[in-house]
Amino acid sequence: MGTKKKTRRTAGTVLGNNDAGDSISLQWLIHRGLGPAFVAVSLFGLLIRAAVSLHSYSGAGNPPKYGDFEAQRHWMEITLNLPPRDWYTNGTSNDLSYWGLDYPPLTAYQSYFHGLILRFFDPDSVALFTSRGYETYFGKLLMRWTVLGSDALLFFPAVLYFLYVYHYGCNSRSSCEVAWHMVMLLINPCLILIDHGHFQYNCISLGFTVGAVAAILSNRDLLGSSLFCLALNHKQMSAYYAPAFFGHLLGKCIRRRNPLLEISKLGLVVIGTFAIIWWPYLYSTDAIFGVVSRLAPFERGIYEDYVANFWCATSIIIKWKRLFMTQSLKLLSLVATVSTFLPSMIQQIRSPSGKGFIYSMLNTSLSFYLFSFQVHEKSILLPMLPASLMAREEPFLYKWLILFGLLSMFPLLHRDGLTPPYMALFALFFLLFHTNQGSKDLGLGIGHSSAAFQYSTTVALLCSFVLHFVYLTAIPPEKYPYLFEAMMMILCFIQFSLLAIYCNWRQWKLSEDLTRSWKEKKLL
Amino acid sequence: MRELWWYIGVVTCLKLLLIPAYHSTDFEVHRNWLALTRSLPLCQWYSDETSPWTLDYPPFFAFFERFLSLFASLVDPKIVHLHEGLNCKSPTAIYFQRLTVIASDSCLFYAIHRLARNFGPIRRNLLWILVAWSPMLVIVDHIHFQYNGFLLGLLLLSISFLMDGRDLAGGFIFAVLLCFKHLFAVAAPVYFVYLLRHYCWGRGLLKGFFRLSVMGITVISVFAAAYGPFAYHGQIQQVLLRMFPFGRGLSHSYWAPNIWVFYIILDKMLVFMLRKLGFSFNPPISSFTGGLVGDVSSFSVLPKITPLTTFIIVLIALSPSLINVWSKPQPKSFSRWVAFAYTCGFLFGWHVHEKASLHFVIPLTVLAVQNLEDAMHYFLLSIVSCYSLFPLLFERQEYPIRVLLLLLHSLLMWLGFSYLYRKTELCEATVAANKLGGPHKASSSGEFKICSMTRIYLFGLVIIELYGQFLHPYLLGNDLPFLPLMMISTYCALGMTYSWIWQLRQIIRL
């Protein structure tokens, strides 16, 4: 070790520049500009995705209902063979109890489009009725490639757009930081495992959201809101961000010269986008409500499985499902969600800012995750996105959310047979986050590193590792077959709620800082 | 060292992800070797014929398999069962064997750590990226399935010792390597001449003779340790018979991109032309459309090629380097000679497998991070040889992976080289040159560029790939399935021949 340090120092002094001082940093990756570096990171990201897609998927070889893979394939089959009006209605050729379409129309169009590709190469895989449970080598491959393609064509360009907007004109940030941020955005282990392992198309709705954020940050509000509408229409879960978008755009509009005009312009764009996407269902109100009722599956109860949110975590003490009717639970969860995201939304209306907007997205999506009705483990992907967008400012927050987000999905991924890629990506994330190349320059050390904080984070991480290990090796007691899942869920719930409190505090502190600097300016 | 751990960690994660990928029959070959070394006594290792995949590597590799089989029997006794384990493809077997490959790569990592320890930070990082993240090794070892990383690690380790001037250790490790895989013997003449000249010669008769005998005893004892047990059981003849199966043809089933591709094609063209002129021929038994392992060494017009012919041609081809070694035995050029020797073996050898291009691409990396001209040559060569491995992974599932691996490698190589050989990077070049001990040519003064010929050639590569993947199935359907493969090996053979000429020129100029 000693000799190595000496070599470095001599090289540094001869060169006379700083980057050779401690280590070579990511400079070599980005010295040709953002473009080649982005292509390199994208290629690596795609390689990892392609490698993960070699593994099993949800419900592989598990009749009669299989899993999400079969659901997506079934939607392709339905949309390809039936007219749009019948997609959401129960009929002789569309049995809604077998993976009925329960996402908004854009998902249906996407399924149709991907179905066309599948039909071109492998007609059997999307034939009506006969293709149920179709699992062949080539069929799986085609399905995997549609996700890979959507990721490459939608999510990656959106991230590039965002990076360009976010880091443009910020000379204070070194280019190495941009490269690091790029890696964090493109290689999000949870997103990769869910999309390319478990099998879903989250990259599409999240890609639209990233595009919307980038557009809004560069003051193209109309484009941003229409992109967000697309995200909403691909997965209704994107509504987790809606309060943030609403608050931020409203706050911006009322500060303009002509607030009413600005608001009506935005409104028209939103209504226009919705109208185009919902066109096949606009012929009658019944049709619209028919689709809407498919999107909100209230009959499934306030929580399923072991999701790390408030209702599930507290159900150990308070048996919500037994104490309350579904109707009152709906109301209760609505009140809880609204009251938790309201402060963050109000902050954005009062003092909208780019930074505050992303914080607000994180806060509202976390409050939806923690308090809303019928949340799935996979919904942790939504808070993860804004966290990754500001990973540069809040590296610790992002890391923590990823580590415990992964843990919260571990039982799900384990059931899918994805434990090996889970472990590989867990390790890969750790390595990429703590990149050896100039981690000191990147300032990944967190500000408040008091001994108590260090101690508690170490304990939490240790708990996480022990839980992984125990879950894989030990057999739970017969009386509590889901003991380990419950323990994981409680640990994750505690972490997520602490993060939510911290983020709300940070967001409000932003506006305090803003007003203080305002006052200082006035005084000057 | 911490930096290297980072590179190792990242690539290991990728390798772990690739575990369920396609694996060739080599997987079953190695599984069978695990089983037979575990369940049979030593005297039957080389005579067993339970499976068609008989043991045909030298004894140290057999011992290595025996060592691995100790763990295999703990993991799942079925893996090492000679009869029940045949074609065993259980997840445990796959995970176990893949993990042994991943673990054995640590030898390679130690070797590159040792090689790079005196380099400047940029060079060191670049060397790690190019070798530890080599797409060729990922394709051959971690998808196709073999233990090349481990063996190349031994080769690099030996080169590293020789570059430090520790000749005895270098020679010892090379002898060990030869007892692991005899294909590495192509570089033996270079080793022999170098060690004789650099280690023994010119130090007075007595000292020279003493050193010669020390080296001789070292090498002989290594070979004795390997072959001794088999000699004791009277198996030597059987061992050698298995190790040198000359019954195989001149070319492998898929033609390795070497000079014999041109020879075969020239023969076909002559037949075609002479037929037009009215001559008649009996076509050779295995026509080149078959594509199966067959005796391709019989030709219609051109003289027949025998193993002895190829052996002599290889020796003649590498003789310039031997003369060079004798006249200027400098440690820093050693990896160049070794690489050149393997290039000769690849280009002119008998029954060459396309995987053998690893043997010279990996040692050339050491030069590429030190010298601009070598970097420019390496850029082309590593792309060509990685591309020539593509037919190994013929299944659809791995198609995106192999393309992404190659693209990523090319891009990282371009970024890395152009960062290393910037105009301002003169100082570090001289620092590194001084560190390596010896005057360095002033060739590092320029900038890294991809010359127009390279661009045109690489563009042709893209066209061939597009034709083979998309246009060919579209135009001809399933007819002539060998044609895209033939195009790949012919086109890559052009690049390989260029590389050989380039290396030859460098050696003559040295």
Question: Residue range A343-353: average pLDDT?
Answer: 92
Nearest chain B Cα distance for residue A29, angstroms: 6
Residues of A in contact with B11 (CB under 8 A): none
Residues of B in contact with A41 (CB under 8 A): none
Q: What is the pLDDT of residue B510?
A: 76
Residues of B in contact with A435 (CB under 8 A): 6
Which residue type, as a one-letter code, is found at position B112?
Answer: I
Residue B48's φ and ψ, nearest 5 degrees, are -65, 140
Nearest chain A Cα distance for residue B374, angstroms: 19
Residues of A in contact with B127 (CB under 8 A): none
Q: What is the pLDDT of residue B442?
A: 41
The two structure tokens encoding residue B509 = 């100029």
Q: Give the separation between CA A30 and CA A450, rounded to whole angstroms.
A: 34
Per-residue pLDDT at A172 exceeds 80? no
Q: Give the separation between CA B191 and CA B338, rounded to whole angstroms.
A: 8
Nearest chain A Cα distance for residue B170, angstroms: 23
Q: What is the pLDDT of residue B305?
A: 82
Residue A375's φ and ψ, nearest 5 degrees, are -105, 140
pTM (whole model) above 0.95? no
- Minimal Cα distance from A2: which residue of B? B1
B257 interfaces chain A, CB cutoff of 8 Å:
no
| Mutation target vs B (from A43, A52, A57; most B CBs, 10 A cutoff) | A43
Work out the number of other CB atoms within 10 angstroms of the CB of residue A519.
Answer: 10
Average pLDDT of chain B to the nearest whole number: 87
Q: What is the pLDDT of residue A16?
A: 30
Q: Which residues pair with B250 in a beta bridge?
A: none
Per-residue pLDDT at A436 exceeds 70? no
Rounded to the nearest angstrom, the gap between the alpha carbon of residue B11 and the centroid of all alpha carbons in its chain is 20
Per-residue pLDDT at A252 exceeds 50? yes
Among candidate residues B310, B317, B322, B303, the one with its CA nearest the CA of residue B264: B303
Contact A40/B415, CB-based, under 8 Å? yes
Contact B9/A40, CB-based, under 8 Å? no
Pick from A23, A55, A137: CB nearest B20: A55
Contact B404/A47, CB-based, under 8 Å? yes
Task: Assign A69 to helix, strand or coil.
Answer: helix
Contact A40/B408, CB-based, under 8 Å? yes
Pick from B119, B122, B428: CB nearest A14: B428
- Minimal Cα distance from B399: which residue of A? A50
Q: What is the pLDDT of residue A18?
A: 32
Nearest chain A Cα distance for residue B38, angstroms: 28
Pick from A10, A24, A32: CB nearest B431: A10
A26 pLDDT tier (thresholds 50, 70, 90): confident
| Mutation target vs A (from B3, B6, B17, B447; most A CBs, 10 A cutoff) | B17
Residues of A in contact with B118 (CB under 8 A): 7
- Minimal Cα distance from A41: which residue of B? B408
Q: Which residues pair with B385 in a beta bridge?
A: none
The two structure tokens encoding residue A59 = 């419900």
Q: What is the pLDDT of residue A1?
A: 32
- Minimal Cα distance from B12: which residue of A? A424
Contact A432/B120, CB-based, under 8 Å? no
A211 pLDDT tier (thresholds 50, 70, 90): very high
Q: What is the pLDDT of residues A391-400, one digit of tens each?
A: 988 888 999 9
Work out the number of other CB atoms within 10 angstroms of the CB of residue B478.
Answer: 7
Question: Residue range A345-374: average pLDDT?
Answer: 93
A6 pLDDT tier (thresholds 50, 70, 90): very low
Question: Could you say which residues of chain B have pLDDT below 70?
Answer: 1, 246-248, 252-253, 281-298, 423-445
For chains A and B, what is the number of CB pairs under 8 angstroms?
122
Contact B17/A54, CB-based, under 8 Å? yes
Q: Report the range of poorest mean pLDDT among A50-59, A355-364, B41-50.
A: B41-50
Nearest chain B Cα distance for residue A116, angstroms: 19
The residues near B478 (Cβ < 8 Å, ≥ 6 apart) are: none
The two structure tokens encoding residue B398 = 């791995």
Per-residue pLDDT at A101 exceeds 60? yes
Contact A43/B411, CB-based, under 8 Å? yes
B399 interfaces chain A, CB cutoff of 8 Å:
no
Nearest chain B Cα distance for residue A203, angstroms: 19
Q: Give the separation between CA A121 and CA A146, rounded to whole angstroms.
A: 12
B120 interfaces chain A, CB cutoff of 8 Å:
yes
Q: What angle do CA A263, A265, A266 make, to 5 degrees?
A: 65
Contact A1/B1, CB-based, under 8 Å? yes
Q: What is the pLDDT of residue A10?
A: 33
Nearest chain A Cα distance for residue B70, angstroms: 24
Give the C-alpha distances (Å, rounded to integers) separating A179 from A38, A104, A116, A157, A403.
8, 35, 37, 15, 21
Nearest chain A Cα distance for residue B280, angstroms: 45
| Mutation target vs B (from A7, A10, A137, A183; most B CBs, 10 A cutoff) | A7
Q: Give the separation between CA B182 and CA B175, rounded to whole angstroms.
A: 10
Q: Which residue has the tokens 């999506």?
A: A365
Rounded to the nearest angstrom, the gap between the alpha carbon of residue B260 and the centroid of all alpha carbons in its chain is 18
Q: What is the pLDDT of residue B443?
A: 44
Contact B13/A1, CB-based, under 8 Å? no
Q: What is the pLDDT of residue A515?
A: 75
Residues of A in contact with B122 (CB under 8 A): 20, 24, 28
Q: What is the pLDDT of residues A184-202, one digit of tens each?
A: 999 999 999 999 999 999 9
Among candidate residues B354, B482, B262, the one with its CA nearest the CA of residue B24: B354
Among candidate residues B316, B394, B310, the one with its CA nearest the CA of residue B352: B310
Contact B117/A8, CB-based, under 8 Å? no
Pick from B5, B404, B431: CB nearest A11: B431
Pick from B3, B95, B420: CB nearest A23: B3
Task: Assign A479 to helix, strand or coil.
Answer: coil
Rounded to the nearest angstrom, the gap between the alpha carbon of residue B444 and the centroid of all alpha carbons in its chain is 28
Q: What is the pLDDT of residues A284-340, one digit of tens each?
A: 899 998 898 888 877 777 777 788 989 989 888 888 888 888 888 889 999 999 999
Q: Which residues pair with B352 in a beta bridge?
A: B251
Nearest chain A Cα distance for residue B402, angstroms: 9
Residues of B in contact with A48 (CB under 8 A): 14, 17
b/e string for A73-84 if b means 16 or more Cβ within 10 A?
A: bbbbbbbbbbee
Per-residue pLDDT at A232 exceeds 70? yes
Please report the ipTM that was assigned to this predicted complex. 0.91
Question: Residue range A254-274: average pLDDT?
Answer: 94
Chain A contacts in chain B segment 406-435 (CB below 8 A):
407-408, 411-412, 414-416, 418-420, 422, 427-428, 431, 435
Nearest chain B Cα distance for residue A252, angstroms: 42
Q: Report the range of poorest mean pLDDT among A210-224, A392-406, A435-449, B486-500.
A: A435-449
Per-residue pLDDT at A174 exceeds 90? no
